[in-house]
Amino acid sequence: VICAPMFIVSTPELVIAQCAAGVVGSMPALNARPQEELSPWLGRIKSSLTELRTREPERIIAPYAINLIIHASNDRVEADLEVCAQHEVPIIITSLSAPHRVVDAVHGWGGKVFHDVTTVRHAEKALEGGVDGLILVSAGAGGHAGTTNPLELVGEIRRFYGGPLVLSGAVSRGDDIAAARAMGADFAYMGTRFIASTEANAVERYKQTIVESGSK
């Protein structure tokens, strides 16, 4: 499981708890406001996970990821990328623009780049840019979601790409994860489920609504 970066909701505490549970935790860089808060946040994540690894060496602790909105409208992207470089963030999740200019920088410090895509064309362009994995944002996903059925999107991209695939879209339970892997994905991308977590930055009523919700 890779935990989706959720605007406002994802916090350093949530990322730490996710990684400590053995799943990749993530948050948007833009959640750190003002921008100067990002470096202390990343420092807190790194030191907490390092301490946990030292204290419990047998425990499986996952790496963490930071989401960068690399669209031209984000005037923070260069500054945020520089902070991520200083902290050598293990995984960068890029969204909303071609990732070419980010990939070399991230590879320079040994990180990996996973890129959000909603169509086959977007996937092809991301791979041309040298990304290390694709996040297929299919129908049912939160945020800037695509409209393609996950069965079709995974199947079409698997015809030409054998690398890491992450499937996003209405994934919230263990059997959903099993289904994603059966379809050909390597990871399931989960967001909404984690809003109900103690560490998430959401009001209690919102969290309880998610717990109580279902198809009607």
Residues in CB range of 130: below 8 A, 6 or more apart: 100, 103, 104, 107, 113
Q: What is the pLDDT of residue 204?
A: 96
Whether 132 contacts 99, CB under 8 Å: no
Q: From CA 172, how far away is CA 191, in angstroms rounded?
A: 8
**What are the Cα distances from residue 198, in Å, to 17, 25, 84, 174?**
10, 15, 26, 20
- Helix residue ranges, H only, the chain: 12-20, 38-55, 77-87, 100-108, 120-128, 150-158, 174-183, 204-212
Residues of the chain with pLDDT under 70: 144
Strand 64-69: give its sheet, edge to edge. 2-3, 187-190, 165-168, 133-137, 112-117, 91-95, 64-69, 25-28
Whether 44 contacts 12, CB under 8 Å: yes
Q: What is the pLDDT of residue 213?
A: 86
pTM: 0.93
Q: What is the pLDDT of residue 23?
A: 97
